[in-house]
Amino acid sequence: GFAQKSAENLVKTFQDKREIPLGTFLTALGLKRGGAVKCKEVARAFGTLVKVRALGPADLMSLKGWAEKSAEDFVQSLR
């Protein structure tokens, strides 16, 4: 068995890994047109998953480098 401190450290490690940056989470979803750079940009611009899920293509197109088709595909992938 684990000593008390080792068990506490193990639990803390698991808890720390349960929260990941939003950009990393979006990238991991494999969203269409959502590469790592784009996902991190979206996360920086909108800040929360709730806000990202509420995005429309026009919201993304207000960011640099988003074309209409890319924005539509990304938003559709979130649904």
pLDDT at res. 7: 75
pLDDT at res. 2: 55
Closest CA to 46 of 73, 26, 29: 26
Mean pLDDT, rounded, for 15-34: 85
Q: Is the pTM of this model over 0.75?
A: no
pLDDT one-digit tens code per residue, 29-75: 898 988 899 999 999 999 999 999 999 999 999 999 899 999 999 99
Q: Tell me the DSSP string of 39-63.
A: HHHHHHHH-SHHHHHT--HHHHHTS
